[in-house]
Amino acid sequence: MNPYQILGLQQNSSIDDVERAYKKLAFQFHPDRNPGDAESEKKFKEIQEAYDRIKKPENFQTENTFGGGFNSPFDIIFPFFNEDPNVTINLTINVQEAYFGINKTIQVPRKTPCSQCMGTKFSAFSTCSTCLGQGAVKRAPNVHIRCRDCHGNGKTGTKKCEKCHFTGHIKENTELSIKLPSGLKDNSILRLQGAGHQFREFVGDLLLKVKIVPCGKYYLANDELCINIEAPLSTFISGGDIEITDLDNDVIVVKILPQTPSGTKLRVKNKGMLLPNSENRSDLIAIINVQVPNITDINMLVQLKNLGI
């Protein structure tokens, strides 16, 4: 918004001209003279703001004023402010990979500035006629306001960039090797700084959402490593040994007592997932269930029944 334009004035108009134009327009669009007319009310507010911007530029300094001089005319980046610079990728690994940690190569769809237009979206420019290429307009001694017509660039685009289809960026896959540490929890989010979209000087992060799926008999439940084990009915009735193979392929023998119910959970110390910031592991939880009876079990049941048990 150029406040001079809103008041129907030239950029170099005097304060007297500003006062006169403001009074005339404010009178014309005053809500009291246009009851219920939303368009007039909007216009009235615009006129007031335009007047304030010219008369009291200090009130508008925070968003628009530069301390001491300009750098490159492209220092101010406006097209990308509404975009999320972070890239989120969903990654699925199995519980064995989470247990040991794993290296993965992933493709990251990143946006990078278009090399043709350097992210400006335009391939040709002309000098801004409002600020004459300065990017700012002087409002008072030592007070410069960013030019609203060119957004402070000093130039306005005259030809849309064809290479990036007027988006300012190119989207391409970047291959990235990542190391997933041992002991990741299901649904964890890993943040890789600076691996997201690049919007000119500003670079976002890559967020990896890790889903952990079962592997064989192993799975995660409430962040604990679990394994389903089946044992014959006879073991549940009379007690006996159960073998549990952990993810390191070590076999652990666990004794169970007679008349143990099916579905019992056994904890095997220090054989679960790596604890955070630690060398220690949590427990492996073995859920023991009765095997579908085979002929031996059935014979045994018959014998037990005959014995009156």
Binding site for Zn ion (CB under 5 A): 114, 116-117, 128, 130-131, 147, 149-150, 161, 163-164
CA 61 from chain center: how many Å?
32
CB of 249 to Zn ion, least distance (A): 55
CB of 283 to Zn ion, least distance (A): 56
What is the rounded distance in angstroms from the CA atom of residue 208 to the CA atom of residue 92? Answer: 10
Nearest CB to Zn ion, comparing residues 117 and 286? 117
Phi, psi values for residue 6, rounded to 5° = -60, -35
Pair type for strands 87-94 and 206-213: parallel
Q: Which two tokens stand for residue 117?
A: 């237009």
Q: How many other C-beta atoms are found inside a 10 Å radius of the C-beta of residue 66?
A: 17
Q: How far is the CB of 70 from Zn ion (least distance, A)?
A: 12
State in angstroms the smallest separation of the CB of 222 from Zn ion: 49
* Beta carbon nearer to Zn ion, 1 or 302: 1
Shortest CB 37 distance to Zn ion, Å: 33
Q: Note whether 228 and 265 are within 8 A (CB).
A: no
* Contact present, 284 and 250 (Cβ < 8 Å): no
**55 or 151, CB closer to Zn ion?**
151
Residue with tokens 């009130």: 59
**Minimum distance of Zn ion from residue 86's CB (angstroms):** 22
* Residue (147 or 225) nearer to Zn ion, CB: 147
Residue 167 or 291 having the CB closest to Zn ion: 167
The pair of three-digit structure tokens given for residue 275, joined into one six-digit string:
């604890």
What the block records as the tokens of 282 is 């949590």
The letter for the amino acid at 27 is: F
Q: Which two tokens mark 66?
A: 């530069």
> Which residues, 6 or more positions from 16, have their beta carbon under 8 angstroms from its beta carbon?
none
Residue (138 or 267) nearer to Zn ion, CB: 138
